[in-house]
Amino acid sequence: MKQITEEIVNHYLPVINRLAGGINLPNQNIINKDDLKQEAILGLYNGINTFKENKKSNLDTWCYNKIYWSMIDSIRFFCCYSKTTTNRIKIYKKAIKSLEQKLGRYPTIDEISIVMDLSY
C-alpha cells in the first residue's frame, strides 16, 4: 500500500505545483507556496485514504478536490485577517505609496485619510 500511495503522490505532484502556483497568497508572510504544497500532499493522503469507489466519483476528481481545498483551508486557517480587512490594508498601502511618490516624503495621517476618504 505504501508504494502505491507514493506512486499516486508522484503522479499528482505536477497538479500540486500547478495549483499552488496559481493561488494568490495574502501578503502577510505567514504562509508561502511551499507550505501550500505540503498541505496539498497531506490533503492528497487524506483523499487516498477516504476515497470510496462508486459509479458517481473517480479518484482523479476526488484527489484534485482534496488537494485544492486543503490548500484553501490552510490559507483560511493561517491568515489572521478577513478578506475585507486584507483588501483594506492593500488600499491603505497603495494610498501611502501613491502619496510618497507625489509628495516625496512619508504622508501624514491627515493626508492618508483624505485620499482614502476616511475620518478619524
Q: So what's the pLDDT on residue 84?
A: 84
Could you tell me how far CA 83 lies from the centroid of its own chain? 11
Instruction: Give the model confidence (pLDDT) of 57-87 as tens digits.
Output: 788 888 899 999 999 888 888 777 777 887 8
The model carries a pTM of 0.62
At 120 the pLDDT is: 66
